[in-house]
Structure 1
Amino acid sequence: MLKTAILWPAIAQFALIALCYLWLGITRRGAVASGAVPSTDFPPGVAEPQASATARRHLANQFELPLLFFVVIGFLFGVNGASILELVVAWLFVASRVVHTIASLNGPLALRHLSFLVGFLLVGFLWLDLAVRIL
């Protein structure tokens, strides 16, 4: 039961990333509809409205630290290394990413930094835990 339960936080993290894609689409559609950009083409380096640029940068961020999370979850699954502790830490990571998303899109900078630090420490713990398990 716990072996597959560790996959649910990864699925939830994917859902968060999917929502970030949706938000990017909404902001870009709004930019085109308002006439802020001349077409639906958003090439890199071209100025785009602030909301769209913020959503784009945040989506890119979802493929940095969360990538390390997905990998360690896969390894923990592979070595049958999921206990209640790893499951709780994985869900806390997802919660930290939700807070980070909210703070990145419209919250205070200090909250964004704190939520990133918490998430980083949680992923670091999962990697350390994995290393101890395979010794």
Structure 2
Amino acid sequence: MPLLDKALFLAIAAQVFLTFAVLVMMGRERVPRVMSGEIRVKDIAVERTAYPLKARLLSNNFDNQFQLPVLFYLASALSLWAGGTGWVEVTLAWAFVVLRYIHTAIHVTTNRVHRRFAAYVLGMLVLALLWLWLTIRLSLLQS
């Protein structure tokens, strides 16, 4: 596998590991509360309000890992499939992943909404640039 393909794959793996890390943290917050009887299953069967704030933040962040990152995974897969992955894709992919880590760190700790939103928007812009670049590269630059 060429070096730039490996670098892109590692960005994908880093995003996947972030999702798993949030899932594990969420489980560590939620499962003991249900197992101890602190929270009844019927109180969480439909909504999350019975959980304490930390558990709800982790749950919301976990859900968020299946929003913009889905477009990231698709863009990355298209880049790998098309071949010729370049520094532009790799740089934008890693920038997106770093911003997702920042977004998650804010979301599950201080949850300062303005900072979290800034990280989210920057990640969205980086992802839009990745898609714009891929569209240009795959439709106009490759024959």
Q: TM-score, normalised by structure 2?
A: 0.85
RMSD: 1.9
Q: CA deviation at 1:40?
A: 9.4
The answer to whether the aligner puts 1:55 opposite 2:58 as a matched pair is: yes
When the two structures are aligned, how many residues end up with a matched partner? 135
Q: Partners in 1 of 2:48 and 2:115 — Cα distance?
A: 29
1:124 to 128, 132, 143: 128
- Partner residue of 1:18? 20
Q: CA deviation at 1:111?
A: 1.2
Give the gaps of 5 or more residues in structure 2: none
Q: CA deviation at 1:54?
A: 1.6
The answer to whether the aligner puts 1:98 opposite 2:116 as a matched pair is: no
**Percent identity, aligned pairs only?**
27
Do the aligned residues in 2 keep the contact of 1:6 with 1:87 (CA within 8 Å)? Answer: yes
Do the aligned residues in 2 keep the contact of 1:58 with 1:101 (CA within 8 Å)? Answer: yes
Do the aligned residues in 1 keep the contact of 2:106 with 2:116 (CA within 8 Å)? Answer: yes
Q: CA deviation at 1:42?
A: 3.6
SS at match of 1:10: helix
- Partner residue of 2:86? 83
**Code of the aligned partner of 1:7:** F
